Amino acid sequence: MKHTIQSNSFENTTFLDILKFLRTHSFMEDEEYHNIQIQIFLLVKKLVLTHTHNRTTTISKRKYHQIMNSVYYTLDHATTYHKNPIEFIKAKHIAFFYDEGKQSITALHEQVYDLYIKLKQSILPINNERYQDVILQQLLYFYHEYNIEYRATYCRQDFDYPLLDGIPLDHDMYHKKGVDLAVEYAKRLSIEQTFCQRFTTEELVTLFHNYEEHVGVSIHLLGINIMEIVLLQFMFSTLLPNQKPSLMILDSEKRYLCSLIQNTHTTVETIYQNMDIILDKQTMQYIYRYKEQLSQKIQIALEHNQLDHLIITKSIQKAKFTFHDKPSVSSKTFSQIINKIEEKNNADEKIQILFQYSLSIHDIIDILETDIFTDDHYPLLFQKLDILSIALLFKYTYPEEFVFHATIVLHTSYLHNLDISRQWQSYFLIYIEQLTDEKKNELQNILNIMN
């Protein structure tokens, strides 16, 4: 007895699976099945001949499978037969389904480009290599490289910038291939970016500068998710009374939050309820993916009494500052910093400007080279830097000292023999010379590790 099938039961089924179903359940005669196979074979043969410029019908097995998979992938994207496979899947319709599938894939391919433009135009001012690479390189390369006819299932890019729920590899590439995978990833990234755009550039830059200070590492090469850092801060700020949620949390507010948060379940529920009022439905739907992770984070933090580690506060009160080995800021930002320093009269205020931006050690050297500081500023500035920044400053000022297998020993005669081409360098060497033996040893060890 023949099975009955519902019109919507094949919505997400592949062409091959439908074909198999129709045959095994006697909805299709052997002859029709054979004719369909011939039509698909002729499609593949035509593609092979185009590929070889009519020179031969012989190709490598690898290339043949790529073409074959591309044809089936394209047939999967045709929509007509899904409504009534028994009626529509016929040998004479295969060419039509193939063209229909191609049109559908072309539309998705264009969608990748539109999403790339959207993401590029609103790229966040965050200096993270993976984030920038995925938007500026990977999505664009995918768009240019994608080949519907010969490599439709292929996606060379691994999209290694992790989204809120991790990298696509953690989710078996969302069970998608080719253009479907690229569109899915770009759409998710777009939701994340749109969420982060709720905040001003200044808020974001300050948050990530504070984050770097908080964790003691530059985010440039870290495999972080930007939305997660922004979202966590936003979530905690929704718990603060009488305030519009923001990314800036004061020390006093942090203490309040630490005393308020006692129960994981209640806290998470309250956060989601508060966010439900503020955020739109699509963003909320997306953020629900993070609920379990948030519960785990808060639970672990409560168990180890480390809730304060989850909340980022302003780092102005810190005694020492770190400048990481990461790319320099733009020339526009650099000019702004110089102007701001020039506006200040007091040495402390001038130096404080440096710590308000997420600068790299190269920026610090460039600023020192401008001679914007006077003699009495230098000792004050070096005192504010942590030992890692001092080591990096030494490394980039005296690169010739870092010879393979040579050990750096910071004794007085060694320091006196170093070249001084700028005024600040003499103060820098005096500062190193006057360090305590313990600090000098620490610096020496770091320098020799860098070598």
Partner 1 sequence: MKYYTIKTKENTQMIIKEVNAEIASYGFSLSEEDYQFLLAKQKELYTHYNLIDLDTTIIKVIAMTVNKSPYIRQSNYVDLIVHFLDLFYACRKQIGTLHYDDEIIYTLYQIYLLHYGEISTKLLYDTLKILQEKL
| Token pair for 310 | 């989850």
Q: Is 64 in the site for partner 1 (CB under 8 A)?
A: yes
- The least distance separating partner 1 from the CB of residue 64, rounded to whole angstroms, comes to 4
CA gap 66, 378 in Å, rounded: 64
Q: Which of 51, 90, 318, 440 binds partner 1 (CB under 8 A)?
A: 51
* Region binding partner 1 by CB under 8 A among candidate stretches 42-50, 140-148, 219-227, 423-431: 42-50
CB 231 within 8 A of CB 287: yes
Query: And the tokens for 32?
Result: 């029709």
Shortest Å, Cβ 33 to partner 1: 10
CA dihedral 307, 312, 314, 316 (to 10 degrees): 80
Give the phi and the psi of residue 360 in degrees, each rounded to 5: -100, 170
Which listed residue (1, 6, 8, 55) binds partner 1 by CB under 8 A? 55
**Rounded to the nearest whole angstrom, what is the least distance from the CB of residue 41 to partner 1 in the complex?**
7
3 state DSSP class of 83: helix
Binding mask 21-40 for partner 1 (x = CB under 8 A): ---------xx--xx--x--
- At closest approach, how far in Å is the CB of 95 from partner 1? 17
- For the bound state, the minimum distance from the C-beta of residue 51 to partner 1, rounded and expressed in Å, comes to 7
| Residue 416 touching partner 1 (CB under 8 A) | no
Task: Single out the segment in contact with partner 1 by CB under 8 A; choices: 55-63, 374-382, 385-393, 394-402.
Answer: 55-63
Task: Classify residue 440 as exposed, middle or buried by CB count within 10 Å of its CB (0-12, 13-18, 19+).
Answer: middle
Contact call for residue 281 and partner 1 (CB under 8 A): no
Is residue 52 involved in binding partner 1 (CB under 8 A)? yes
Contact region with partner 1 (CB under 8 A), list: 52-60, 132-140, 168-176, 234-242 = 52-60
CB of 25 to partner 1, least distance (A): 20
DSSP state of 135: I
Total interface residues for partner 1 by CB under 8 A: 21
How far apart are CB 149 and partner 1 at their closest, in Å?
16
> Bridge partners of 249?
313
90 in contact with partner 1 (CB under 8 A): no
Of 51, 56, 98, 48, which Cα lies nearest the Cα of 77? 98
Helix (H) or strand (E) holding 226: helix 226-237
d(CA 431, CA 125) in angstroms, rounded, equals 35
Q: Which is nearer to partner 1, 41 or 414 (CB)?
A: 41
- What is the maximum span of the chain, computed from C-alpha positions, in angstroms? 99
Considering only 13, 27, 44, 398, the residue that binds partner 1 (CB under 8 A) is 44
Contacts for 225 with CB less than 8 Å, ≥ 6 apart:
161, 162, 163, 164, 192
92 is a contact residue toward partner 1 (CB under 8 A): no
Q: What is the CA radius of gyration of the chain?
A: 30
Coil, strand or helix at 417: helix
Q: Which of 45, 83, 92, 344 binds partner 1 (CB under 8 A)?
A: 45
Nearer to partner 1, 50 or 374 (CB): 50
Which residues lie near partner 1 (CB under 8 A)?
Answer: 30-31, 34-35, 38, 41, 44-45, 48, 51-53, 55-62, 64
